[in-house]
Amino acid sequence: MALCRSSFYSPPQHRPPLLFPSKLSSFFPIYPSTSFKFTSLALLHQPPKTPVSCTCCSMDAPPQGYRRNVGICLINSSKKIFAASRLDIPNAWQMPQGGIDDNEDPKDAAIRELKEETGVSSAEVLEEVRYWLTYDFPPEVREKLKVQWGSDWKGQAQKWFLLKFAGKEEEINLLGDGMEKPEFGEWSWMSPDEIIDHAVEFKKNVYKEVLAVFSPHLQ
């Protein structure tokens, strides 16, 4: 990884040492405030996990019972991919994603979600996956989101977009645009293999498919 940043609400003189990534749960779920930068820190390889019962399939239209969603694969000039660690799931890293509003174009939703979650608006859309990809929520995640969203979804049906970051890294702000509750605690530029290794189990198949489609831009 080329770079990683972290943000937390804690007084600067008492900033805790970064425990990365297996110990993130020790300061979960503190929300980010200001950012600091560190380099040359290798991501730890996660041990194999027990497979989660889930499905991943592609289709031309989102199926019933799945929440419409967009995913954003944001790359920098070195062809590394932006990923961030979730505040609500210890040790879980992901690419930005979010729901599609009623009557909203998926590409517009991707640009909106990227800004809401990362503060990034300086990005160019390069490509999209032309079909919907779905994954199922594990039972415990489905129950949690049922309470959070007030709707019972089997999983998410996603349209994925590849964007190239065209701004300066100071633009990246995990507080987002201030319109939504922060979702992430740290961010990093990763290789495709690192993206898959650090994803939660039920998203791995979708990530593999997405990165295969975008692979010409990642080499």
- The string of pLDDT tens digits covering residues 58-105 is 677 888 999 999 999 999 999 999 999 999 888 899 999 999 999 999
Number of domains in the chain: 1
CATH of the domain at 155: 3.90.79.10
Judge whether 64 lies within some domain: yes
* Residue 192 lies inside a defined structural domain of this protein: yes
- Residue among 119, 116, 83, 96 at smallest CA distance from 194: 83
Residue 145 lies in a domain: yes
Residue 65 lies in a domain: yes
DSSP class of 51: P
Q: pLDDT-based confidence at 17, cuts 50/70/90?
A: very low
Residue 177 is predicted with a pLDDT of 74
Considering only residues 134 and 61, tell me which one the structure prediction assigns the higher pLDDT: 134
Q: What is the pTM of this model?
A: 0.74
How much is the mean pLDDT over the chain? Answer: 80
pLDDT of residue 16 exceeding 70, the answer is no
Q: Lowest mean pLDDT of 54-68, 155-169, 184-198, name the range.
A: 54-68
pLDDT bucket at 57, cuts 50 / 70 / 90 = low
191 C-beta neighbours (distance < 10 Å), count: 16
Residue 189 maps to a domain = yes
Tell me what the mean pLDDT of segment 130-143 comes to. 95
Paired residues of 160 in beta bridges: 71
Buried b (16+ CB within 10 A) or exposed e, 5-34: bbbbeeeeeeeeebebbeebeebeeeebee
Amino acid 181: pLDDT:
84
Q: Is residue 151 assigned to a domain?
A: yes
Interatomic CA distance for residues 73 and 160, integer angstroms = 7
In this predicted structure, the answer to whether residue 9 has a pLDDT above a threshold of 70 is no
Answer yes or no: is 128 within a domain. Answer: yes
Segment of 23-37, 49-63, 182-196 carrying the highest mean pLDDT = 182-196
Is the pLDDT score of 127 beyond 80? yes
Query: Is 46 inside any structural domain?
Result: no
pLDDT, position 34:
39
Q: Which domain holds residue 82?
A: 4-9+23-38+54-217
Residue 50 DSSP label:
P
Cα–Cα distance for residue pair 25/39, rounded to 1 Å = 21
- What local confidence, expressed as pLDDT, does residue 61 receive? 80
How far apart CA 61 and CA 58 sit, in angstroms, is 9
* 3-state SS, residue 118: helix
pLDDT in tens, 29-41: 444 443 433 333 3
